C-alpha cells in the first residue's frame, strides 16, 4: 500500500521542512507517490532533495496546460460511485468561492484520482488550502480517506466555513505549532483528530559546531554581522528591520545580509536606498543549504521580525530559527505565539513586539553590548533544540498515523 502526497510546489527552497519529512517517511519504510500542483521555480536546490528516491509527478498547473489529461481522467472517473459525491462537494464549494482557482482544483483532482496507483490507501496533503482541496476531491472520487498537514498561511487565511468542513471530512490532520493545534481543534467536531507535530530539525544536516569562542565584548572596530533568512514577503517584516537598522548608533559597525527571494525584494532594496543603508546591506538571494550553513556559522546575530499581516497571514515556527539556533547563533525575533513556543525571551533569545522598529533596534543594541549574555542565550536555544525539537523524535506520531492506513 502507498500514500499519495499532494504538494503545492516541489521542490522549494523555502519548504525544506517538507523535504525533510518526505525523506524521513521514505526511510521509515512508507511507500509514497508525490504529486505537485506546481513546477519548481527556484534555481537552487537543497542536498536533501537528491536523497529522496520518489520522483515527483506534476499535475496540470493550469488546466489548459493538460486538457487531454483532464478530459481523459473525467471520462474514466465519471462512472465511479465516488465521482458524484466529489462533484457535489466541489459545486458546494464553488458556490461560495467562485474563482478560477476553485475550478482548477477540480480539474487537478480528476488527474490526481486517475493517475495515482491502485495501491494508494490514503491521500495526504501538505497545506490545508489548495492542496487539501485537491486531495479531498480526488479521495472522494476514489473512495479513499484523506488527511492533511497544516502550517501557517493555510490556517490563518482560509475561510472558517472551509476549515470546518475539511476538518469534518478528513481522516485526521496534523499541524506544526501549539497555536495552530488549538485553533483547528477548536473548529473541529472531533478535536482529537488533530495532532500537534513539530517539524523539528534534523541535527544530521545541521551539526552542532560547539560553543562559540567567548568574546568579552564586541570591539567598536569589528563589523557586527547580522543575518536574516526568509522570503521577502509582508509577513516576514524585513521592512521593520531596515527601519530598526537606521536607528542604530554610529558606534555599531553593522552589516546585514539577507538570504531569500520574494515579491517585496525590490521594495526592500528601495527602502534601504532611501534610508542610505544600501552600502551596509548584502542581498544574497536564494542560496543552497551549505552556503546558508556557512552564513549561520560566520554571523553574530540572527534577526527575524515576523508580523501578522492585514489578511491574517503569519509565521508558525519558522525552521530558520531552529537552523540558526543549531549553530549557536544568537536570536532576535518577534513574540508571535508560534515563535514563543521555541524561544523564551531572556533565556533562549530575545523577543520583541512586531511592527516596533524602536524595540527591535534596542534589542540589537543590547545584544551587541552584552556578548556573554548573548552567548548564554544562544547555547540555551541550542540545548532546547536538541532536547525538545529533534526531528527524528518529532516525526514519530506522523509516521504512526500514516502507517495506520497501510
Shared domain for 162 and 267, answered yes or no, is no
Does 110 fall in a domain? Answer: yes
Shared domain for 180 and 245, answered yes or no, is no
pTM for this predicted structure: 0.87
Distance CA 310, CA 284 (A): 28
Does 210 fall in a domain? Answer: no
Beta-bridge mates of residue 365: none
Shared domain for 358 and 313, answered yes or no, is yes
279, 287, 280, 237: which is closest to 261 by C-alpha?
Answer: 287
Shared domain for 183 and 259, answered yes or no, is no
Shared domain for 309 and 379, answered yes or no, is yes
Does 160 fall in a domain? Answer: yes
Q: What's the pLDDT at 13?
A: 78
Q: What's the pLDDT at 345?
A: 97
Cell readout for 65 is: 496546460
179, 170, 171, 191: which is closest to 152 by C-alpha?
Answer: 179
Shared domain for 118 and 136, answered yes or no, is yes
8, 52, 50: which is closest to 32 by C-alpha?
Answer: 52
What string of pLDDT tens digits covers the 406 residues of the chain?
999 999 999 988 778 889 999 999 999 999 999 999 999 887 777 788 889 999 999 999 989 888 999 999 999 999 999 999 999 999 999 999 999 999 999 999 999 999 999 999 999 999 999 999 999 999 999 999 999 999 988 999 999 999 999 999 999 999 999 999 999 999 988 666 899 999 999 888 899 888 776 554 455 558 999 999 999 999 999 999 999 999 999 999 999 999 999 999 999 999 999 999 999 999 999 998 889 999 999 999 999 999 999 989 899 999 999 999 999 999 999 999 999 999 999 999 999 999 999 999 999 999 999 999 999 999 999 999 999 999 999 999 999 999 998 6
Shared domain for 52 and 88, answered yes or no, is yes
HEC-encoded secondary structure of 316-345? CCCHHHHHHHHCCCCEEEECCHHHHCCCCE
48, 49, 51: which is closest to 36 by C-alpha?
Answer: 49
Q: Where are the beta strands (DSSP E) in 143-193?
A: 146-150, 172-175
Tell me, what CATH number does 350's domain have? 3.40.50.2000
Shared domain for 84 and 193, answered yes or no, is yes
Contacts of 50 (CB under 8 A, 6+ apart): none
Shared domain for 78 and 167, answered yes or no, is yes
Does 215 fall in a domain? Answer: no
The angle formed by the CA atoms of residues 280, 284 and 287, to the nearest 5 degrees, is 155
Contact 331, 306 (CB under 8 A): no
Domain holding 308, by residue range, is 223-388
Shared domain for 140 and 268, answered yes or no, is no
Q: How many domains does the chain have?
A: 2
Shared domain for 169 and 228, answered yes or no, is no
Does 78 fall in a domain? Answer: yes
Shared domain for 286 and 175, answered yes or no, is no
At which residue does the C-alpha cell 478530459 appear?
71
Q: What's the pLDDT at 216?
A: 40
Does 211 fall in a domain? Answer: no
Does 316 fall in a domain? Answer: yes
Does 228 fall in a domain? Answer: yes
Amino acid at each position: 500500500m502507498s500514500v499519495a502526497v499532494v504538494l503545492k510546489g516541489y521542490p522549494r527552497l523555502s519548504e525544506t521542512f517538507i523535504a525533510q519529512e518526505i525523506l524521513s517517511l521514505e526511510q521509515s519504510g512508507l511507500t509514497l507517490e508525490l504529486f505537485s500542483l506546481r513546477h519548481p521555480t527556484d534555481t537552487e536546490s537543497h542536498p536533501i532533495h537528491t536523497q529522496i528516491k520518489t520522483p515527483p509527478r506534476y499535475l496540470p498547473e493550469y488546466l489548459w496546460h493538460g486538457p487531454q489529461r483532464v478530459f481523459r481522467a473525467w471520462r474514466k472517473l465519471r462512472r465511479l460511485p465516488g465521482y458524484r459525491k466529489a462533484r457535489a462537494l466541489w459545486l458546494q464549494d464553488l458556490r461560495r468561492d467562485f474563482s478560477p482557482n476553485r475550478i482548477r482544483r477540480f480539474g487537478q483532482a480528476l488527474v490526481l484520482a486517475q493517475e495515482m496507483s491502485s495501491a494508494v490507501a490514503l491521500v495526504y496533503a501538505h497545506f490545508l488550502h489548495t492542496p487539501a482541496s485537491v486531495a479531498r476531491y480526488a479521495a472522494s472520487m476514489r473512495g479513499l480517506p484523506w488527511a492533511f498537514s497544516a502550517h501557517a498561511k493555510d490556517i490563518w487565511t482560509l475561510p472558517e466555513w472551509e476549515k470546518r468542513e475539511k476538518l469534518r471530512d478528513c481522516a485526521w490532520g496534523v499541524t506544526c505549532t501549539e497555536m495552530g493545534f488549538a485553533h483547528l481543534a477548536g473548529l473541529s467536531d472531533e478535536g482529537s483528530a488533530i495532532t500537534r507535530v513539530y517539524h523539528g530539525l534534523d541535527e544530521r544536516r545541521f551539526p552542532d559546531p560547539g560553543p562559540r569562542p567567548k568574546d568579552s565584548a564586541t570591539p567598536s572596530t569589528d563589523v557586527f554581522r547580522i543575518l536574516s533568512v526568509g522570503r521577502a514577503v509582508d509577513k516576514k517584516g524585513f521592512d521593520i528591520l531596515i527601519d530598526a537598522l537606521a536607528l542604530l548608533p554610529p558606534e555599531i559597525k553593522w552589516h546585514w545580509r539577507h538570504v531569500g527571494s520574494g515579491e517585496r525584494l525590490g521594495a526592500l532594496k528601495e527602502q534601504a536606498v532611501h534610508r542610505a543603508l544600501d552600502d551596509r546591506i548584502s542581498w544574497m538571494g536564494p542560496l543552497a543549504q551549505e552556503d546558508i550553513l556557512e552564513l549561520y556559522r560566520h554571523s553574530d546575530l540572527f534577526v527575524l521580525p515576523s508580523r501578522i499581516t492585514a489578511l491574517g497571514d503569519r509565521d508558525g515556527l519558522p525552521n530558520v530559527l531552529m537552523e540558526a539556533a543549531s549553530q549557536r547563533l544568537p536570536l532576535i525575533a518577534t513574540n508571535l505565539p508560534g515563535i514563543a513556543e521555541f524561544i523564551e525571551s531572556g533565556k533562549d533569545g530575545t523577543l520583541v513586539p512586531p511592527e516596533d522598529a524602536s524595540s527591535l533596534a534596542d534589542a540589537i543594541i543590547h545584544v551587541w553590548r552584552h556578548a556573554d549574555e548573548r552567548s548564554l542565550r544562544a547555547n540555551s536555544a541550542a540545548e532546547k533544540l536538541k532536547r525538545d525539537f529533534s526531528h527524528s523524535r518529532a516525526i514519530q506520531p506522523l509516521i504512526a498515523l500514516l502507517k495506520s492506513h497501510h
